Structure 1
Amino acid sequence: MTFQPIQFKTLNAKQIEVYNFHKIAARLADYGYHSIWLSDDWQGADFLAVHVDGKTVLRVQLKSRLAIDKKYLGKNLHIAFRHGERVFVYPHDDFVTWIIDRKHVGEMSEAWGKKGHWHWSSLPAWASAFLEPFYELRAAST
């Protein structure tokens, strides 16, 4: 038997979700987290990330891109997404507050105000100031 890498573009939606979970879980493992997939969203979380310290548990919503949603407010959720080979895991409510404080709401005002959610298909440069210093999980060097 030989192992062959898959072509990401050939995966269906559920396969992409599972693939992204495992890629993010592998990166979280480098930071001392064991990730547990939940078969049914639990209070908005797709998976739990439990730290080796025995105290820290992140409730994580898996997304395909940078996103915010009013239905996640107040639920102590982190959002995880991949951007190419980059992985980000950020506290949802802190990011929403940060966006509003810096008046980045303008670009998303209609969708955020009326529909209650917004996502970015590409990573805005201004978001890097929030994400990169603390919430980008860089690959561990071995």
Structure 2
Amino acid sequence: MTQTSEPLKLQKVDYEKLNARQKETYNFQKMSGRLADYGFTCILLSDDWKGADFLAYHFSKEIMLKVQLKARLTFQGKYRGLDLHIGFRDGERYYLYPHDTLRHELHEAGFVTPDSPVQWRENWNRTWNYVPKTIRPYLEKYEI
């Protein structure tokens, strides 16, 4: 790599052309930047720790969030009880929601019924390729 005194000619990346690892790095950087606006410093972990891809520490030193990055709105039984937040991108919107809390909110609102698939009803496993209109109001308070 050589240094030059010429101006940089930067081009924005096409997110859709990134590989899975590049998308995760991109989403971490975007999420980290958004959280900085709220007083957080983020540390990317080289390996998942207690389900987290990164840690977010608040400047007050009173809040530490364990965050799992996802490509979409997701719930997984393996994250249940781990005090995890799920961070994901939906277009230009970024969300950071407490996994168990939002799952309970959706359950109480009737999104988990006796007729729901067993994977969602009992194992907590559910993902959506897009945020359903019916769920968006429950998610809005977690937009960052």
Normalization by structure 2: what TM-score? 0.87
Q: Does 1:57 align with 2:64?
A: yes
Mapping of residues 1-142 of structure 1, within 5 Å: 1-106=8-113, 109-113=117-121, 116-132=124-140, 134-137=141-144
Query: Which one has a bigger Cα radius of gyration?
Result: 2
1:70/1:117 contact within 8 Å kept: yes
Q: Deviations over 1:51-100 (max 9, x none)?
A: 11111000001000111011111110000001011010000000111111
Distance (whole Å) between structure 1 residues aligned to residue 86 and residue 116 of structure 2: 18
Structure whose residues are more often helix by fraction? 1
Gaps of 5+ in 2: 1-7
Gaps of 5+ in 1: 138-142
The 1:115/1:98 distance shift into structure 2, 3 A limit, reads closer
SS at match of 1:26: helix
Normalization by structure 1: what TM-score? 0.88
| Letter of the structure 2 residue corresponding to residue 6 of structure 1 | V
| Letter of the structure 1 residue corresponding to residue 19 of structure 2 | N
Is 31-40 or 102-111 further displaced after alignment?
102-111
How many residues end up aligned between the 2 structures?
A: 136
Distance (whole Å) between structure 2 residues aligned to residue 10 and residue 108 of structure 1: 35
**Higher relative contact order at CA 8 Å, sep ≥6: structure 1 or structure 2?**
1
- Alignment root-mean-square deviation, CA: 1.6
Identity %: 43
Is 74-83 or 100-109 further displaced after alignment?
100-109
1:108/1:118 contact within 8 Å kept: no
